[in-house]
């Protein structure tokens, strides 16, 4: 089942249905839930697998705490998720993102603005496996209404 559609602003390889497939531009997986996952880091050693698991399973930092600060992105992890609005009961689809910086810190967000920015970043800069050095981004917040603020980023 192809859950992520390819486009000019996303990874140019199809998401495959094997449990884990390593390609030149990262590791693509579809978990038993049927939600697609992308990870730019392809761990080759037990230490790298441990680091990656810990970074994406329990990210140390919330991206929201870094508004107006610069992060030097080295790797990106993204997974489709289903969200439940506890007030309305509405269910929506989204993406959970973990950014890994040059120092190995991991930052978590579910911001659609960050997802949109990453799509554009990948289209213009290529995926992280093509970067010769980390990409510095400045985290920003856009207030859409008194109850809604969206995280975005700029190239620093």
Tokens standing for residue 18: 């094997």
H or E segment at 48?
A: helix 46-57
Question: How large is the average pLDDT for residues 1-24?
Answer: 38
- Name the burial class of residue 151, with classes exposed (0-12), middle (13-18) and buried (19+) by CB atoms within 10 angstroms of its CB: buried
In this structure, of 28-32, 58-62, 79-83, the range with the lowest mean pLDDT score is 28-32
Average pLDDT over residues 46-72: 94
Residues paired with 96 in a beta bridge: 79
Per-residue confidence (pLDDT) for residue 80, from 0 to 100:
85
Fill in the DSSP letter of residue 15. Answer: P
Residues 35-62: what's their mean pLDDT?
90
pLDDT of amino acid 34: 63
Two tokens at 81? 């998720």
User: What confidence score (pLDDT) does residue 33 get?
Assistant: 56
In the numeric block, the tokens 């497939």 are attached to 21
Shortest CA distance to 95 belongs to which of 19, 3, 14, 18? Answer: 3
13 touches 1 (CB < 8 A): no
pLDDT of 92 over the 90 cut: no
The pLDDT value given to residue 90: 81
Task: Note the pLDDT of residue 91.
Answer: 81
* Span 148-156, average pLDDT: 93
């Amino acid at each position: 089942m192809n859950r992520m559609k390819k486009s000019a602003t996303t990874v140019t390889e199809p998401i495959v249905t094997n449990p884990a497939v390593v390609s030149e531009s990262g590791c693509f997986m579809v978990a038993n839930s049927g939600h697609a996952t992308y990870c730019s880091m392809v761990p080759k050693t037990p230490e790298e697998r441990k680091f990656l698991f810990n970074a994406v399973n329990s990210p140390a930092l919330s991206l929201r705490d870094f508004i107006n600060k610069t992060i030097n992105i080295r790797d990106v992890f993204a997974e489709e998720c289903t969200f439940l609005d506890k007030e309305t009961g509405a269910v929506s689809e989204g993406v959970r993102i973990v950014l890994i910086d040059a120092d190995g810190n991991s930052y978590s967000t579910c911001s659609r603005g960050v997802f949109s920015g990453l799509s554009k970043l990948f289209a213009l800069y290529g995926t992280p496996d093509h970067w010769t050095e980390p990409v510095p981004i400045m985290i920003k917040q856009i207030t859409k209404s008194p109850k809604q603020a969206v995280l975005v980023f700029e190239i620093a």
